[in-house]
């Protein structure tokens, strides 16, 4: 485990004085320009507290994870390019706005990454979804690639790569290699992640500095089994089977 203690900070509404706000453990910042950590709001910390709790049952785990995943997708979409777009409102005024221009697709790292597809579909109707099945070996923590099925024209799309957990970084690195082998430029990949370890995030950000990462939280480190700590346990098990 790294000696990277996430700092405690006061969280809560602006109108409460510091002395009356609770303190909570907030994300460690990373010195990598390509990593965006969601604002550590009281809502986000409360949602994370819920899903980290070992006593949270499956229904609540799914519900609260989905809320965080929705925040990740909404923030991720902010990193895609837009062009000027001026419209006329029903009262006859013009409004100079923007619109997204370009094709996107989601790619989930199965199994846990599939949990993030619904939020992407809710934000981007009829979005194409590709799948990469990578499983981490329970003994060695090394990733193994079993299967991939990706849109034919993926090289022309912006790719939102989905996986809630970034531990050693091995699975995410392997997934990016698969995307690159299909012609996707690194700077057209955006990795959406719920919890990262500092070492996994650093490995990933340094190996692929042009891939943007949006995460909700950078944790303290990894334990002897390469599980994220404090973490939330096995995301796939808690979301799908427990
Ligand atoms: C988990 C997780 C990531 C990977 C992270 O998947 O969803 O894909 O481990 O670990 P890493 O950064 O050390 O590679 P797992 O292989 O356990 O499969 P699952 O999605 O079926 O739970
Ligand atoms: N995969 C998980 O689901 N959790 C971890 O902490 C590490 C890998």
pLDDT digits (tens, 9 = 90+) for 103-138: 999 999 999 999 999 999 999 999 999 999 999 999
DSSP run (H or E) holding 193:
strand 189-196
Is the CB of 167 inside a 6 Å radius of any atom of ligand 2? yes
pLDDT at residue 5, rounded to an integer: 65
58-77 and 42-52 are packed helices; what angle lies between their axes, rounded to 10 degrees?
140
CB atoms within 10 A of CB 140: 10
Residues noted as catalytic = 136, 140, 234, 237
Q: Is the pLDDT of residue 1 over 90?
A: no
Whether ligand 2 lies within 6 angstroms of the CB of 223 is answered as: no
Percent with pLDDT over 90 in the chain: 93
Does the Cβ of 240 fall within 6 Å of ligand 2? no
What is the structure's pLDDT at 29?
A: 87
Query: Can you list the domains of the chain with their CATH numbers?
Result: 8-241 (3.40.50.2020)
Helix count and strand count (H, E) for the chain: 6, 14
As a whole number of angstroms, the distance between CA 173 and CA 205 comes to 10
The per-residue pLDDT for range 176-199, each reduced to its tens digit, is 999 999 999 999 999 999 999 999
Tell whether ipTM is more than 0.95.
Answer: yes
pLDDT per residue as tens digits for the range 25-76: 999 888 899 999 999 999 999 999 999 999 999 999 999 999 999 999 999 9
Closest alpha carbon to 172 in 64, 34, 50: 34
- Residue 167 CA: nearest ligand 1 atom is 12
Question: In the structure, what pLDDT confidence band is assigned to residue 152 with cuts at 50, 70 and 90?
Answer: very high
Give Cα 229 to chain centroid, integer Å.
17
pLDDT grade for 4, boundaries at 50, 70 and 90: low
| Predicted local distance difference test score (pLDDT) of residue 6 | 79
**Both tokens of residue 224?**
């002897």
């Amino acid at each position: 485990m790294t000696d990277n203690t996430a700092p405690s900070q006061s969280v809560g509404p602006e109108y409460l004085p510091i002395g009356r706000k609770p303190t909570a453990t907030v994300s460690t910042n990373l010195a990598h320009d390509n990593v965006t950590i969601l604002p550590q709001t009281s809502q986000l910390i409360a949602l994370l507290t819920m899903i980290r709790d070992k006593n949270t049952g499956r229904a609540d785990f799914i519900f609260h994870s989905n809320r965080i995943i929705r925040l990740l997708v909404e923030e991720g979409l902010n990193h895609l390019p837009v062009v000027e777009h001026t419209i006329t409102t029903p009262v006859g005024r013009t409004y100079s706005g923007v619109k997204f221009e370009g094709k996107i697709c989601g790619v989930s790292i199965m199994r846990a990454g599939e949990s993030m597809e619904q939020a992407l579909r809710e934000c981007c109707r009829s979005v194409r979804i590709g799948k990469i099945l990578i499983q981490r070996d329970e003994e060695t923590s090394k990733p193994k690639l079993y299967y991939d099925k990706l849109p034919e024209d993926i090289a022309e799309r912006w790719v939102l790569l989905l996986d809630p957990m970034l531990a050693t970084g091995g699975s995410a690195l392997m997934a990016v290699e698969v995307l690159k082998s299909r012609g996707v430029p690194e700077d057209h990949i955006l990795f959406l992640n719920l919890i990262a370890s500092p070492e996994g995030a650093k490995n990933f950000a340094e190996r692929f500095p042009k891939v943007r990462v949006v995460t909700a939280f950078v944790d303290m480190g990894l334990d002897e089994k390469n599980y994220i700590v404090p973490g939330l346990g096995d995301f796939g098990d808690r979301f799908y089977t427990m």
